Amino acid sequence: MSENPYAILFEPVQIGPVTAPNRFYQVPHCNGMGYRLPQSLAAMRGVKAEGGWGVVCTEETEIHYTSDLSPSMEGRLWDDGDIPNMARMTEAVHAHGALAGVELVYSGQHARNFNTRAVAFGVDSFSVPEYFPAQTRMADKEDLRTLRRWHRNAAIRAKQAGFDIIYTYAAHRLSLPMFMLLSRYNTRTDEYGGSLQNRVRFLRELLEDTLEAVGDTCAVALRLAVDELLGEDGLTRDGEGKEIVAMLAELPDLWDVNVSDWSNDSGPSRFMKEGYQEQYISFVKGLTSKPVVGVGRYTSPEAMVSAVQQGVMDLIGSARPSIADPFLPEKIRTGQVEDIRECIGCNICASADNVGVPIRCTQNPTMGEEWRRSWHPERIPAAKKAEKAVLVVGGGPAGLECARALGQRGYQVTLTEARRELGGRVQLEADLPGLQEWRRVADWRLTQIEKLPNVEVYPGSEMTAEDVREAGFEDVIVATGARWRRDGVGRSLRSPIPGHAWKEVYTPDDLMAGADREVAGVNREVAGRLPQGRVVVFDDDHYYMGSVLAELLVGAGCEVTLVTPAPQIALWSQYTLEQPHILRRMKQLGVTMLPNTTLAEIEPGAVRLHNTLHAKDTGWMCDGVVLVTNRISNDGLYRDLRGEVGTTFNSLRVIGDAEAPNIIAQAVFSGHLAAQEFEEDVTGDAPNFRRE
Mean pLDDT by 10 residues, the chain (692 residues): 84 98 97 95 98 97 94 94 98 98 93 91 86 89 97 98 97 91 94 97 98 98 96 92 97 97 93 95 98 97 97 97 98 96 97 93 98 98 94 98 98 96 96 96 98 98 96 97 97 96 95 65 66 97 98 96 97 97 97 97 96 92 97 97 95 98 98 96 84 92
Closest by Cα among 456, 459, 467, 454 to 388 = 454
Can you tell me whether residue 455 is helix, strand or coil?
A: strand
Mean pLDDT over all residues of the chain?
95
Q: pLDDT value at position 515?
A: 43
DSSP 93: H
What confidence tens digit (pLDDT) does each residue in 584-597 have? 999 999 999 999 99
DSSP 66: G
Q: pLDDT value at position 690?
A: 93
Q: Is 47 exposed, middle or buried (0-12, 13-18, 19+ CB in 10 A)?
A: buried
Polymer length in residues for the chain = 692
Alpha-carbon dihedral of residues 520, 548, 544, 514, nearest 10 degrees? 10
Can you tell me whether residue 530 is helix, strand or coil?
A: coil
Q: pLDDT value at position 1?
A: 45
What confidence tens digit (pLDDT) does each residue in 531-584 have? 999 999 999 999 999 999 999 999 999 999 999 999 999 999 999 999 999 999
Catalytic residue check, 543: no
Catalytic residue check, 506: no
Q: How far is CA 560 from the centre of its chain?
A: 29
H helices of 54-124, where?
A: 83-94
User: pTM surpassing 0.75?
Assistant: yes
Evaluate the CA torsion angle 170, 174, 177, 178 in order and state its sign: positive
Q: Are 630 and 615 in contact (CB under 8 A)?
A: no
Q: pLDDT value at position 514?
A: 65
Q: pLDDT value at position 521?
A: 60
What confidence tens digit (pLDDT) does each residue in 65-106 have? 999 998 889 999 999 999 999 999 999 999 999 999 999 999
Q: Which member of 253, 265, 541, 657 is catalytic? A: 265
Catalytic residue check, 265: yes
Q: Is 593 exposed, middle or buried (0-12, 13-18, 19+ CB in 10 A)?
A: buried
The amino acid at residue 386 is: A
C-beta neighbour count of 589 within 10 angstroms: 16
Can you tell me whether residue 411 is helix, strand or coil?
A: coil
Q: How far is CA 645 from the centre of its chain?
A: 38
C-beta neighbour count of 321 within 10 angstroms: 27
What are the strands, taking DSSP E only, across 580-666?
A: 592-594, 597-603, 606-611, 616-621, 624-628, 631-633, 651-654
Distance CA 658, CA 667 (A): 9
Q: Which member of 25, 106, 167, 169 is catalytic? A: 169
Tell me the domains of the chain and their CATH numbers.
7-354 (3.20.20.70), 389-481+634-677 (3.40.50.720), 486-632 (3.50.50.60)
Catalytic residue check, 172: yes
Q: Which member of 172, 500, 542, 581 is catalytic? A: 172
Distance CA 231, CA 237 (A): 10
Can you tell me whether residue 255 is helix, strand or coil?
A: strand
Angle at 445 between CA 439 and CA 448, to 5 degrees: 135
Q: Which member of 30, 349, 558, 622 is catalytic? A: 30
